[in-house]
Amino acid sequence: MATVSELLTANLHDVFGNRDALEQKAAELLERVPGAFQFVEEGRRYASDTHGALAWGFGPVGAPVVRGIDVVEVRDGVVVALTTFFAELSGD
């Protein structure tokens, strides 16, 4: 059974970061951005037996244009809830 930490990584890279993803929402998102855009992990993962959080960036390598944090709830090795928080844009 997958750990919460492994599911955080799979959600970011295998679901949302995979341009051949079967998940319709992830595929629609990636179809609308340049091919150089990718998801990268930013900072530490936080995980318990049932919940986890992972900060991420999305954009060209080294210059993400969007940042956020995914928080997951896991039961029996399956993500049952996903909440995404987006970083506020700076006024610069």
Q: What's the pLDDT at 1?
A: 82
- CATH number of the structural domain spanning residue 23: 3.10.450.50
Question: How far does CA 42 lie from the centroid of its chain?
Answer: 10
Output 28 or 25, whichever has higher pLDDT. Answer: 28
Q: What distance in Å separates the CA atoms of residue 92 and residue 82, rounded to the nearest whole number?
A: 30
Mean pLDDT on 9-24: 72
Q: Residue 92 domain-assigned?
A: no
Give pLDDT tens digits for 39-80. 999 999 999 999 999 999 999 989 999 999 999 999 998 889
Question: Quick one: tokens of 49?
Answer: 């037996």
* Per-residue confidence band for 32, with pLDDT thresholds at 50, 70 and 90: confident
Q: What distance in Å separates the CA atoms of residue 52 and residue 74, rounded to the nearest whole number?
A: 8
What is the domain count for the chain? 1
Q: Residue 66 domain-assigned?
A: yes
> Partners of 28 in the beta sheet?
none
pLDDT above 90 covers a percentage of the chain that reads 48
Q: What's the pLDDT at 92?
A: 55
Q: What distance in Å separates the CA atoms of residue 45 and residue 30, rounded to the nearest whole number?
A: 24
Q: Which domain holds residue 34?
A: 4-86
Q: What distance in Å separates the CA atoms of residue 39 and residue 59, rounded to the nearest whole number?
A: 7
